[in-house]
Amino acid sequence: MIATYAPMFIMIAVASALAGLFFLGASFLGGKLEKTREKMLPFECGSESSGGRHLKLSVKFYLTAILFVVFDIESVFLYPWAVQFKSLGWIGLASMFGFLAVVIVALVYVVKKGALEWES
């Protein structure tokens, strides 16, 4: 039983040790920079930001991002199904059609609600 999970535990231990090593290396070897007015100014994409700092982004921005992630993750489920297509048989085909029907209904609902329209 332990032999089955040993590679996973070894991978987690190596990843944790490497992350800790990087963190400690950055803490001890990295230089401590003094905080100057110039360094504390916010900037965006290498250029000075314009406008207020405390302006809230539109909810549509976050909604579009969340919908992208949801539909992207749902599309990832198609790859394992395609790999095992022959061995799943008719039950696998029917279950995937059911899954795709739910995804399509959700997409139609989102489009009808206007959630994908950036400007209204």
Domains of the chain as residue ranges with CATH: 2-113 (1.20.58)
- For the record, the structure tokens of 18 come out as 């490497």
pTM score of the predicted model:
0.49
Residue from 65, 102, 99, 104 nearest 79 by CA:
99
Which pLDDT score is estimated for 95? 92
3-state secondary structure of 43: strand
Sign of CA dihedral 40, 45, 47, 49: negative
- Residue-averaged pLDDT of the chain: 84
Which pLDDT score is estimated for 17? 98
Which pLDDT score is estimated for 47? 64
The Cα 110–Cα 117 span in angstroms is 10
Higher model confidence: residue 27 or residue 42? Answer: 27
pLDDT tens sequence across 41-68 = 776 666 666 666 666 777 777 888 888 8
